[in-house]
Chain A
Amino acid sequence: MRYSAFSILKQGLSGNRHWSRAWRAPEPQPRYDVVIVGGGGHGLATAYYLASKFGVRNVAVLEKGYLGSGNIGRNTTIIRSNYLLPGNNPFYEISLKLWEGLEQDFNFNSMVSQRGVLNLFHSDGQRDAAIRRGNAMRLHGVDAELLSRDDLRKRVPMLDFDNARFPILGGLLQPRGGTVRHDAVAWGYARGADAAGVDVIQHCEVTAIRRGAQGRVEGVETTRGFIGAGKLALATAGHSSQTARMAGLRLPIESHVLQAFVSEGLKPFIDTVVTFGVGHFYISQSDKGGLVFGGDIDGYNSYAQRGNLALVEHVMEAGVSMIPALSRVKVLRSWGGVMDMTMDGSPIIDRTPIENLYLNAGWCYGGFKATPASGYCFAHLIAREEPHPVTQHMRLDRFERGYLLDETGRGAQPNLH
């Protein structure tokens, strides 16, 4: 069923009793041309683009829980393409362009809101770095504006401009950045993929990868039986080390926990996304009125999907330093997500040493914004057997070759990226 203003009117007049299911609940078939492990944003987007853009329709997505139960439902919903490095920026810009047309493309309202992403700076050195990054973005055809203190006073008057230790000197704004309703991204891609013939199979956990005598992948053992695969694609960021181990691979990845928080609902307060340049803190306001915010990863390996109070305290302190009015806001809830942290802070979309095994991993804490491009480029790699041009630097072997994509220049220390 195609969603439109007319369909809402028609269904509303008949008491909303005749909506069809958004996607089927199929039984697994014995074999698929492509099996994607992981029904998160990236896995579903990969399936959607494989079926709708690359003509590969005999595809299954296997999800161990329910759709949207992983990081696609645990992020802070920010989209942006304000990256510095030539190996990163074009990829994220393609992602932002896909976001801009996404709702029309998959006929689902995912509430893409280009409300701007603003990075504050607090010293001359930070200003120089912001100018450099803004110029790099513009050279890649991405929008970037340098805002003065006076511009900011009009735009985001709630900030503590005259903080004694970290005065706000200005900010780098990407006007086309913003937020998206994250669950609706999973639902939209699942519905679109399903309509194009993909089997989205929930509550089906992969327990082993079966390989033949030549080492090729033959399929996966799951909690719902063996499923054969012509090609196997892993999109299990957060747990990539675990799934890759089933194929005997050891990855340049550690799993870390990133916490996020949401406050009680408030009247309209912040109409953009703001990031603090001191430590790390970012905040936006959801359409329900809750302030959505977070900071750095906790810094130790974790698969627990929850963090530690030390980091909670740090995030709250940073938030109140940036916006003193936050001190009177109550936090409603907090949660943690498991992140694939790579050794250079950038993702991996590549083939593996195993011929028909493909890897989409290492999204660090930046996977949500990348969802459309990650799916599109991974589908390109699987269908055409060659990397999409914008992912040519996101190779698995770049660490061994010495071609790191290290935005922050911190080296092989994942908890610092």
Chain B
Amino acid sequence: MASLISCPHCGPRPREEFSVRGAALTRPAPEASRAEGFAYVYLRDNPRGLLDEWWRHGSGCGRWLVVTRNTLTHEVVAVRDVGA
């Protein structure tokens, strides 16, 4: 894991300021089928390579971010605000 993550609001900040939620998945609509709901909660692609994740800059701006990271090398490729 990189020691610094470039927050779009705060600039490069230590990794310890952030917490990770996991894969950035899109929540199915309320009327979605049971199978879709199950897949959202439990199933993961778990790629060996690039992965979009939810991270929160808890000790900084407090914003939720989408961090694109390489799970094989730990390189952070891109960081954007969840609303961007």
Q: Which residues of A contact B (CB under 8 A)?
A: 239, 241-242, 250-255, 298-304, 307-310, 343, 399-400, 412-415
B59 within 8 A of A: no
Give every chain B residue within 8 A of A239 (Cβ-Cβ).
Answer: 48
Whether A251 contacts B46 in the complex (CB less than 8 A), given A301-B53, A414-B22, comes out as yes
Give every chain B residue within 8 A of A253 (Cβ-Cβ).
Answer: 44, 46
Contact (Cβ within 8 A) A255 B20: no
C-alpha spacing A412/B73, complex, angstroms: 26
Contact (Cβ within 8 A) B22 A298: no
Whether A307 contacts B1 in the complex (CB less than 8 A), given A255-B71, A413-B22, comes out as yes
Contact (Cβ within 8 A) A399 B42: yes
Give every chain A residue within 8 A of B45 (Cβ-Cβ).
Answer: 241, 250
Contact (Cβ within 8 A) A400 B42: yes
With CB as the reference atom, state the residue of chain B lying closest to A250. B43
Contact (Cβ within 8 A) B20 A303: no
Give every chain B residue within 8 A of A302 (Cβ-Cβ).
Answer: 1, 71, 74
B16 within 8 A of A: yes
Whether A252 contacts B23 in the complex (CB less than 8 A), given A300-B1, A301-B71, A303-B71, comes out as no
Give every chain B residue within 8 A of A304 (Cβ-Cβ).
Answer: 71-74
B42-84 at interface with A (beta carbon < 8 Å) = 42-46, 48, 51, 53, 69, 71-74
Contact (Cβ within 8 A) B20 A300: yes
Give every chain B residue within 8 A of A413 (Cβ-Cβ).
Answer: 22
C-alpha spacing A228/B44, complex, angstroms: 29
B23 touches which one: A301, A303, A307, A308 (CB < 8 A)?
A: A301
Give every chain B residue within 8 A of A309 (Cβ-Cβ).
Answer: 3
Give every chain B residue within 8 A of A415 (Cβ-Cβ).
Answer: 20, 22
How many interface contacts (CB-CB < 8 Å) are there between A and B?
69
C-alpha spacing A300/B15, complex, angstroms: 12
Give the size category of B's interface with A: 20 to 34
Contact (Cβ within 8 A) A303 B72: yes
B49 to chain A, nearest CB (A): 9
Contact (Cβ within 8 A) B53 A412: no
C-alpha spacing A399/B44, complex, angstroms: 13
Contact (Cβ within 8 A) B1 A301: no
Give every chain A residue within 8 A of B74 (Cβ-Cβ).
Answer: 302, 304, 308
With CB as the reference atom, state the residue of chain B lying closest to A308. B1
Contact (Cβ within 8 A) B71 A412: no
A/B interface sample: 13 pairs, CB < 8 A: A239-B48, A242-B48, A250-B43, A252-B43, A254-B22, A254-B46, A302-B71, A303-B71, A308-B74, A310-B16, A343-B42, A399-B42, A400-B38
B41 to chain A, nearest CB (A): 5
Give every chain B residue within 8 A of A414 (Cβ-Cβ).
Answer: 22
Contact (Cβ within 8 A) A298 B1: yes
With CB as the reference atom, state the residue of chain B lying closest to A344. B42
Whether A299 contacts B20 in the complex (CB less than 8 A), given A304-B72, A304-B74, A308-B1, comes out as yes
Contact (Cβ within 8 A) A254 B48: no
Contact (Cβ within 8 A) A300 B69: yes
C-alpha spacing A162/B74, complex, angstroms: 40
C-alpha spacing A302/B1, complex, angstroms: 9
Contact (Cβ within 8 A) A310 B48: no
Contact (Cβ within 8 A) B53 A254: no
C-alpha spacing A296/B20, complex, angstroms: 15
B59 to chain A, nearest CB (A): 12
Contact (Cβ within 8 A) B46 A308: no
A227 to chain B, nearest CB (A): 23
Give every chain B residue within 8 A of A252 (Cβ-Cβ).
Answer: 42-44
Give every chain A residue within 8 A of B22 (Cβ-Cβ).
Answer: 254, 301, 413-415
A107 to chain B, nearest CB (A): 38
Give every chain A residue within 8 A of B44 (Cβ-Cβ).
Answer: 241, 250-254
